[in-house]
């Protein structure tokens, strides 16, 4: 029997468990650890609450989770309740699937003014992450600035724009929904330091902006390059740029029908924040882009901002005793191998890029590497204690482990508490989750 520990129960974790199960069948036992009592990581706390079809992928993970030889071990923090070296003693392979939960920092003057948030916090707030349930963003002002030209910036701009009716069927937590219903935001500026040909936004997500009930996307025609230059772009990006072109062609009369404006301000690099305790403006430098690189022109201006959300990408969290690549913000690894017996997968391996599905081949590939290492004899004999060994540690330390069966109880309680039309009302603190399973 081979024993595998996967740290993190998001997409990368479950695809890896699925791959191990497919390869070794009954000859493997997989334990999936999560610091929270609830599984699915990014699916629950990152994917936007109005993107329920994407969240549906958790049904596939549940199939894996319900296999006898796969266990969910929730409410256990690796690095605190149990260490990586301890797990390495017990399991043949320890795989870090911990994602990239921390934001890349936007270290600019004025960053400590209030009502400036990073995307992990803001997204975590509307998705009911226990760490951010008390964020309480102030949405009483008219101007919001979203920094970054990726899909997270789009999620944030869209969530700030939607009406109550447009949240029907979404699992946005009720406190966030109420706060958004009462919001006064009328102008959302998406700041991008480069131009239309360098956006990271994908076509489907960008296209959604055109269908919003009360918000209209606005792009300055002058920011768009000559149309024939689009031919050089890869097809996905070309489609996204087409959306920007169609936004630029929206007539003023149509903009005027919608009370909220989503303005793409490109070639605009944030330089600092100004305000009196609370943010009021973002200081911006106009840029020029040559061969994909932005350089400042020296032209400065300000954009009004009563709230700022910085969506400029993520970093993994280091774990004690595990080599970390500080510059790249991910574990130092060679195709998923970190050290003998320790691997990484998903965003922890390659950084925060790609879609949820990108993690599937990633999971399968790390399992192949483990199989190669087993064949080469580098992981030693199959005589580790695995889950039995962990259970002894959990009992000795009095850990309140949440199993998959416990999670199903939590899930049922969340479904029972749902508002009309919503799939669930999430528990937003760990104590409430634990109470629901007891």
Residues of the binding site for FAD: 12, 42, 78, 347, 354-356
E strands, 109-214, in order: 116-118, 143-147, 187-191
The answer to whether 371 contacts ligand NAP (rule: CB under 6 A) is: no
By Cβ distance, which residue is nearest to ligand NAP? 150
Tell me whether residue 147 or residue 366 sits nearer to ligand NAP (CB atom): 147
* Least distance between ligand NAP and beta carbon 229 (Å): 18
Quote the least distance from Cβ 268 to ligand NAP, whole Å: 9
- 437, 402 contact by CB (below 8 A): yes
Contact 64, 72 (CB under 8 A): no
Is 330 a binding residue for ligand NAP by CB under 6 A? The answer is: no
CB of 68 to ligand NAP, least distance (A): 33
- Least CB distance to ligand NAP at residue 147 (A): 5
Are the beta carbons of 247 and 253 closer than 8 angstroms?
no
Nearest C-alpha neighbor of 125 from the set 178, 57, 186? 178
Quote the tokens at residue 44.
């629950």
Residue from 205, 373, 411, 414 in contact with ligand NAP (CB under 6 A): 205
Query: In the chain, what is the greatest distance between 2 CA atoms, to the nearest angstrom?
Result: 73
Q: Where in 30-49 is the site for ligand NAP (CB under 6 A)?
A: none
Kindly tell me which residue out of 36, 65, 200, 345 binds ligand NAP, with binding defined by CB under 6 A. Answer: 200
Q: Is-contact 309 143, C-beta < 8 A? A: no
> For residues 5 and 312, which CB has a smaller minimum distance to ligand NAP in the complex?
312
Closest contact distance (angstroms) between CB of 309 and ligand NAP is 11
Torsion of CA 29, 35, 39, 41, to 10 degrees: -120
Q: CB atoms < 10 A from the CB of 407, how many?
A: 23
List the structure tokens of 343. Answer: 């691997």
Instruction: Determine contact, residues 431/135, Cβ cutoff 8 Å.
Output: no
- Pair of tokens at residue 282: 């973002």
The verdict on 352 binding ligand NAP (CB under 6 A) reads yes
Contact range with ligand NAP by CB under 6 A, out of 191-199, 220-228, 295-303, 384-392: 191-199
C-alpha separations of 127 from 103, 140, 429 in Å: 16, 20, 12
151 binds ligand NAP (CB under 6 A): yes
150 near ligand NAP, rule: CB under 6 A: yes
List the x/- string, 48-77, binding to ligand NAP by CB under 6 A: ---x--------------------------
Residues numbered 304 to 323 that lie near ligand NAP (CB under 6 A) are 311-314
Residue 257 Cβ vs ligand NAP, minimum distance, rounded to whole Å: 27
Map the footprint of ligand NAP across residues 219-258, applying CB under 6 A.
none
Q: Is 194 a residue that touches ligand NAP (CB under 6 A)?
A: yes
Q: Which residue has the tokens 């280091």?
A: 318
Per-residue interface string for the shown chain with ligand NAP, residues 95-124, x marking contact by CB under 6 A: -----------x------------------
Sheet order of strands, 293-304 included: 268-276, 278-290, 293-304
- Please state, in angstroms and rounded to a whole number, the distance separating the CA atoms of residues 21 and 15: 10
Please identify, using beta-carbon distances, which residue of 194 and 337 lies nearer to ligand NAP. 194
* Number of residues this chain uses to bind ligand NAP (CB under 6 A): 26
- Tokens at residue 275, please? 């305000």
Q: Where are the alpha helices (DSSP H) in 196-344?
A: 203-207, 235-248, 252-257
Measured distance CA(241)–CA(206) in Å, rounded: 9
- Binding status of residue 426 toward ligand NAP by CB under 6 A: no
Contacts to ligand NAP by CB under 6 A: 51, 106, 147-153, 155, 192-194, 198, 200, 202, 205, 270, 311-314, 352-355
């Amino acid at each position: 029997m081979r024993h595998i520990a996967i740290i993190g129960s998001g997409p990368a974790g479950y695809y890896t468990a699925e791959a191990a199960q497919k390869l070794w069948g009954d000859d493997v036992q997989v334990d999936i650890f999560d610091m929270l009592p609830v599984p699915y990581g990014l699916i629950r706390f990152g994917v936007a609450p109005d993107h329920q079809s994407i969240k549906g992928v958790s049904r596939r993970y549940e199939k894996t989770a319900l296999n006898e030889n796969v266990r969910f071990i929730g409410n256990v923090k690796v690095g605190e309740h149990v260490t990586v070296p301890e797990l390495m003693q017990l399991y043949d392979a320890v795989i870090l699937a911990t994602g990239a939960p921390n934001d890349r920092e936007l270290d600019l003057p004025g960053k400590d003014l209030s009502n400036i948030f990073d995307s992990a916090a803001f997204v975590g707030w509307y998705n009911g992450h226990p760490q951010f349930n008390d964020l309480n963003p102030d949405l009483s002002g008219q101007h919001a600035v979203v920094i970054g030209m990726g899909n997270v910036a789009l999620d944030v701009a869209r969530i700030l724009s939607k009406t109550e009716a447009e949240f029907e069927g979404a699992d946005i937590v009720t406190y966030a929904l109420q706060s958004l219903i009462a919001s006064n935001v009328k102008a959302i500026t998406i700041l991008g330091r480069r131009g239309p040909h360098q956006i990271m936004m994908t076509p489907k997500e960008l296209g959604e902006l055109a269908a919003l009930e009360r918000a209209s996307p606005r792009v300055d025609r002058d920011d768009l390059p000559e149309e024939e230059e689009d031919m050089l772009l890869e097809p996905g990006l070309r489609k996204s740029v087409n959306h920007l072109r169609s936004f630029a062609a929206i007539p003023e009369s149509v903009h005027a029908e919608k009370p909220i404006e989503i303005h793409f301000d490109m070639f605009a690099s944030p330089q600092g924040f100004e305000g009196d305790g609370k943010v009021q403006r973002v200081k911006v430098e106009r840029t020029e882009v040559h061969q994909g690189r932005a350089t400042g022109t020296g032209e400065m201006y300000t954009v009004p901002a009563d709230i700022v959300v910085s969506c400029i990408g993520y970093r993994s969290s280091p774990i004690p005793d595990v080599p970390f690549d500080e510059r790249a913000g991910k574990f130092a690894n060679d195709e998923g191998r970190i050290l003998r017996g320790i691997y990484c997968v998903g965003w922890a391996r390659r950084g925060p890029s790609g879609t949820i599905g990108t993690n599937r081949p990633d999971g399968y590939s790390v399992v192949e590497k483990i199989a190669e290492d087993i064949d080469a004899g580098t992981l030693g004999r199959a005589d580790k204690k695995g889950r039995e060994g962990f259970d002894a540690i959990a009992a000795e330390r009095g850990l309140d482990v949440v199993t998959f069966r416990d999670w199903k109880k939590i899930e049922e309680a969340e479904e029972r508490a749902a508002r009309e039309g919503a799939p669930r009302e999430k528990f937003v603190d760990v104590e409430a989750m634990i109470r629901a399973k007891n």
